[in-house]
Structure 1
Amino acid sequence: MLDARLRRIIDPPLDSLGRRLARLGVSANSVTWTGFGIGVGAWALLALESYPAALALILLNRLADGLDGAVARHARLTDLGGYLDIVLDFLFYSGVVFFFAVGRPEQALPAAFLIFSFVGTGASFLAFAAVAAKRGITTAARGEKSIYYLGGLTEGTETIALFVAICLLPDLFPWFAWIFGALCWLTTAVRISMAMDTFKR
């Protein structure tokens, strides 16, 4: 819901840094993989219940996620780069919730519900993008992307806010999980409705 608005604020500095990295010969895929490696470190810290340190790595992971696209725009956009970006994002998101539950196994049920909800948003997002590509439907609402980015109530910005809240207030995780998961299912329902309206024509 907030991604398009946030883009207007974060894109200029990311674009400037991406341009510099591209000139130095840094590839977008190397930024993607580095960010994912940082995210794996966050998983380990979540499992150890080291929430402030985990939050720092989560935010660094998200910085890398925004930066890889900026590097690609100044070097070369590739299908592989777009693929890696989205696949590693979904793995990272689910991993944050899973490894939080590793550290607090008594929270396994709300964690499972949240990951289940991520499957709904992810599947509805990627399936729409696949059919949109087949039909030549494009959008630049969230910047220049390798695939069609369909909006919703729970996009990247809201998910980052969730992770920040989880790390700062871990005892409230069940509330966050149930509420955010419900919003994910609302997002999924809206996306399915949009797909039915768009693709039936």
Structure 2
Amino acid sequence: MIDRYLIPPLHKLLDKPAELLVNRAVTANQVTLVGFALGLLAVPLLAAGAFELALIAILLNRLADGLDGAVARRTRTTDAGGFLDIVLDFIFYQAVVVGFILSSPHEHLLAGLFLMLSFVGTGTSFLAFAVQASKRGLNNPHYPNKSMYYMGGLAEGFETFAVFILLCLLPQHFVMIAWLFGTVCWVTTATRIWAGFNTLKADN
């Protein structure tokens, strides 16, 4: 919901670290892969109940997710890099929820599955519209540097990140938070389907 407002200041904040990486011949894809590996460390840490350490892994993953784009802007953005970034992001989001489920399977399973399914809704509605928007050459005014069209909604990257932080800090409330945020994700999915369908219908 507020990603569009956070992206410009984040770009400025990450410019200097990105410059240092570029000067050391580090590529955007390398940053993406390292960030993904760090993010996956959260799964066994969550399963073991080491929520503070898992939070560090999640924070490092999100830092890398910002840095890879900053490095790409200083070198060259590519469709292949954008594809890799998006796929690994979606795997990471699901993996974190799996970690929370494994931390207490009996208590967390149902709410965790609901949250994972809601991520499928937001992800598929996002990607399906992006494919059609690309075919039609629709402009993406809020995210001009992204490799594909980004649809907005109540639950975007920042909100998901904030919920992951909250879950790590308050793991005892996983069930309640998962049900609530999953519902927000389904509202996002519904609005994206409505907006996407009508936008594409009007463009025909």
Pair in the same fold by TM > 0.5? yes
Deviation at 1:22, TM superposition (A): 1.6
Tell me the distance in 2 between the aligned counterparts of 1:49 and 1:9: 34
Deviation at 1:15, TM superposition (A): 2.1
Counterpart in the other structure of 2:179: 178
8 Å CA contact 2:143, 2:149 repeated in 1:
no
AA at the equivalent of 2:17? L
Cα displacement string for residues 155-191 of structure 1 (whole angstroms, at most 9, x for unaligned residues): 0000011000100000100111000000000000110
Deviation at 1:76, TM superposition (A): 1.1
Q: What SS does the corresponding residue of 2:29 show, helix, strand or coil? A: helix
8 Å CA contact 1:101, 1:108 repeated in 2:
yes
Unaligned runs of 5+ in 2: none
8 Å CA contact 1:7, 1:143 repeated in 2:
no
Counterpart in the other structure of 2:111: 110
Deviation at 1:19, TM superposition (A): 2.4
Q: Which moved more, 1:33-42 or 1:132-141?
A: 132-141
Deviation at 1:23, TM superposition (A): 2.5
8 Å CA contact 1:113, 1:181 repeated in 2:
yes
Identity %: 52
**What TM-score, normalized by structure 2, do the two folds share?**
0.96
Cα displacement string for residues 35-93 of structure 1 (whole angstroms, at most 9, x for unaligned residues): 00001111110111100000011001000001100000111111110001110000000
**Which runs of 4 or more aligned residues in structure 1 lie more than 3 Å from their structure 2 counterparts after TM superposition?**
none
Q: Which aligned pairs between 1:23-62 and structure 2 lie closer than 5 A?
A: 23-62=23-62
Deviation at 1:16, TM superposition (A): 2.4
AA at the equivalent of 2:12? P
Aligned CA RMSD, in angstroms, stands at: 1.0
Q: Which moved more, 1:50-59 or 1:4-13?
A: 4-13
8 Å CA contact 1:3, 1:142 repeated in 2:
no
- Residue 194 (structure 2) pairs with residue 193 (structure 1): yes
AA at the equivalent of 1:15? D
Q: Which aligned pairs between 1:43-192 and structure 2 lie closer than 5 A?
A: 43-106=43-106, 107-192=108-193
Tell me the distance in 2 between the aligned counterparts of 1:29 and 1:148: 20
8 Å CA contact 1:28, 1:81 repeated in 2:
yes
Counterpart in the other structure of 2:10: 10
AA at the equivalent of 2:160? T
**What TM-score, normalized by structure 1, do the two folds share?**
0.97
Q: What SS does the corresponding residue of 2:41 show, helix, strand or coil? A: helix
Q: How many residues align?
A: 201
8 Å CA contact 1:2, 1:157 repeated in 2:
yes
Deviation at 1:143, TM superposition (A): 4.9
